[in-house]
Each structure stands twice: as structure tokens, then as C-alpha cells.
Amino acid sequence: MRASAGGGASLFRAFSIGSTWLWLGAFALLPTLALLLVSLLDRGETDFFIPVLTVKNYQELFSPVFLTVLWDSVRLAILSTLVCLLIGYPFAYRIARASAKWRPWLLLLVIIPFWTNSLIRTYALILIIGAQGMLNKALLGLGLIAAPLEMMYTDFAVFIGLSYTLLPFMVLPLYASIEKLDTRLLDAAKDLGAGSLRSFWHITLPLTLPGIVAGCMLVFLPSLGMFYVPEILGGAKNLLLGTFIKNQFLVANNWPLGAAASSVMTILLVIMAALYRLSSLRVAGRDHKGLLSGGPEELNGRSPRRPSGAGPSMPQAARKAGGL
């Protein structure tokens, strides 16, 4: 009996692991490697690329045009990530602290927009913020403005579009980490005399850092690639990374250059994923040590100061917050 059950389980294990690897290999690893390969090939006359190895595509990326494109895209992505974080954190905090009866419903409301294609939702925003959109009509009707506000085709519209589309990606990981937060630590901090701001800064923020980093990554990376939102709502006045890549493949027929630009984006992604892993390892490691022995490293003074961005361990946090 046991043997057969074990056999079944191991078969299931082999199958599930095997299918995961197969899926990732066929649909993630292979295309990425193919892209990397094409980025190192030369451009052909009649073919999209010819099998001649070269690094000139990467050299071409050092042109002022591409650097502007990259900078504009990164700047836009950073700003929309910040907007999402500023809105998403209090948002997730409220949900996580809501009563158990309400929580699933509030979460459902965050997820529902996912059921509609984001392109359609982006177009729908035009109906709201357009010159003859609902918002302008309402403001005009109330007599608050004399002429329609120009909201469409501005940076404002782009931030609205990006943060609206990507907010759930920020809220969900934040919610997960805020919900896990041990409220006894906050009580302890309060007992020790910490104000709410202080306990937020020394306890809540450091302990929800993995959620913040995960949320920021989940927002930052798609907003780098979501070229249609700035195109539709922003009027496509700047060339962004996604559009640049699309143009290389479709308009200029320069696949190797497009592949090189795309690889740069992939490398950015890998660096950020590594940073995320590093930060979550730090938090996890700290929790472990901190809970078991009260944070020996802090006590024996080996590392009295932590690098910025990484917070103190849990009991340590409560003590610090309490002013000890």
C-alpha cells in the first residue's frame, strides 16, 4: 500500500516538476536564448538576420537616441511605480486591517478589473478624461471650469493609465506582507512608548519591505514594456523602449537591433530579480536569527548599523521603536 502510494506520489512529483521545466524551457528559456542569439547576429539584405556573429547591435545601442529612449522609459516606469506605491500602500493597509468579513470582498474588487482586457480599459479611460469626457462634462456642468481641461495626451493621462492598470500588482503583494505582519510587535512598540509614526517607520515599513520590493518590481517591469498606454493616452510624443523594439521588428526590419534592445530589457529584469532575492533573503535571515536568539549580531556589535534599505529584526525593531 505504502509503496504504491509513494510510487504514485513520486510519479506525480516527476510529472509536475517535469511539466514545469518543460513549460519554462519551451516558452521562457528557449525564446530568450533565441533572442539573445539574434541580438548577436548581423542584419541581412533579404532575410531578417544572417548567421554572422557581431556585437555591433549593442554598440549601436550606445547612440544618443537609444539612451534617450531608455532614460525616458525608465523615468516613466520609476514615476509610475512611485505613484502606485503611494496609492497602493495605504490601500493595501486598509484592506489588510479590514474585518475578516470584508477582506475577501475588498480583494475581489481589486481583482475584478483584471477580467477585462487592459487595452479596453485604457480606451475606456478616454471616455472619462477626454475633452468631451465624463469628467470634463461634470466639471463644466458644475460650473467649476469654463473650458474643458486638457487631460488627454499629457503625462498626467499616462500616469493615470499606468497606475490604474498596474495598481493591483502593487496592492496584492503589499497586502500579503502587511497581513502577515505580527500586530503584537506594534502593541509592544506602543507599550514601550513609540508613537504611531515611529512604530510605522521602525516596524511596519521594514517588515513589509519584501512586499514593497515585490510590488515595485511587478509594477516597474510591465510599465517599461507597456508601450500602448503612453501611446494611446500620452499621444506617443516620446519614443519608449517598447515602441522602439516594436519599430525595429516591424518598421525598420532590423531584428538584430530590436533583439539587442530587448535583451537589455531582459538584463534589467534579471538584475532587479536578483536584488529582490537579496532583499528577501536578508529579511528572512534576520527573522530567523532574530526570533531564535534575539539578534546576536546586533548585541555583540559586529554589525551595529545595517545598510540602508534593510530594516532591523523583529524584536530589535520593537525595542528600537520603543526607544531602547
Partner 1 sequence: MKHSRVATFALGLVLVFALAGTCLAAQKDKGQVVVYNWSEYIPQDVLDDFTKETGIKVVYSTFESNEAMYAKVKLLRGKSYDLVVPSGYFVDLLRRDKLIQKIDKSRLSNAMHLDPKLMNLEFDPDNTYSIPYMWGVLGLAYNSKYVPKGSLTRWEQLLKPEYKGKLILTDDLRDAFGLALRAKGHSVNSKDPAQIKEGFDFLTRLKNSVRVFDVTAIKQALISEEVWIGPIWNGDYLVAREENENLEYIFPEEGAIPWVDSFTIPVGAENVDNAYAFINYMLRPEIAVRCIKEYKYSSPNLKAVEMLPAEMQNNPILVPGPKELKNAEFITGIGEALDLYEKYWEQVKTAQ
Binding site for partner 1 (CB under 8 A): 46, 48, 65, 68-69, 72, 126, 130-132, 150, 152-153, 231-232, 235-239, 244, 247, 249-253
Q: Collapsing DSSP states into helix, strand and coil, what is residue 51?
A: strand
Q: What backbone phi and psi angles, to 5 degrees, belong to 104?
A: -60, -35
Of 150 and 191, the one with the shorter C-beta distance to partner 1 is 150
Of 131 and 265, the one with the shorter C-beta distance to partner 1 is 131
Of 238 and 280, the one with the shorter C-beta distance to partner 1 is 238
Question: 175 in the Ramachandran plot: left (φ > 0), alpha (ψ -120 to 50) or beta?
Answer: alpha
Give the nearest distance from C-beta 212 to partner 1 in angstroms.
Answer: 32
Residue 295 near residue 313 (C-beta atoms within 8 A)? yes
What type of residue sits at position 81? T
Give the nearest distance from C-beta 31 to partner 1 in angstroms.
Answer: 15
Of 10 and 132, the one with the shorter C-beta distance to partner 1 is 132
Give the nearest distance from C-beta 37 to partner 1 in angstroms.
Answer: 17
Residue 239 near residue 69 (C-beta atoms within 8 A)? yes
In whole angstroms, give the CA distance from residue 313 to residue 288: 9
Give the nearest distance from C-beta 63 to partner 1 in angstroms.
Answer: 9
Give the nearest distance from C-beta 81 to partner 1 in angstroms.
Answer: 22
Residue 73 near residue 265 (C-beta atoms within 8 A)? no
Of 72 and 297, the one with the shorter C-beta distance to partner 1 is 72
Residue 152 near residue 130 (C-beta atoms within 8 A)? yes
Give the nearest distance from C-beta 132 to partner 1 in angstroms.
Answer: 5
In whole angstroms, give the CA distance from residue 196 to residue 183: 13
Name the DSSP letter for residue 306. P
- Nearest by Cα to 159 from 239, 106, 219: 219
Give the nearest distance from C-beta 62 to partner 1 in angstroms.
Answer: 14
Give the nearest distance from C-beta 250 to partner 1 in angstroms.
Answer: 4
In whole angstroms, give the CA distance from residue 9 to residue 11: 5
Name the DSSP letter for residue 309. T
In whole angstroms, give the CA distance from residue 242 to residue 237: 14
Of 152 and 171, the one with the shorter C-beta distance to partner 1 is 152
Of 236 and 310, the one with the shorter C-beta distance to partner 1 is 236
CB-count burial class (<10 Å; 0-12, 13-18, 19+) for 139: middle
Quick one: cell of 179?
Answer: 497581513
Of 51 and 307, the one with the shorter C-beta distance to partner 1 is 51
What type of residue sits at position 155? D
Give the nearest distance from C-beta 240 to partner 1 in angstroms.
Answer: 9
Helix/strand/coil percent split, the chain, to 5:
75, 0, 25
Of 91 and 228, the one with the shorter C-beta distance to partner 1 is 228
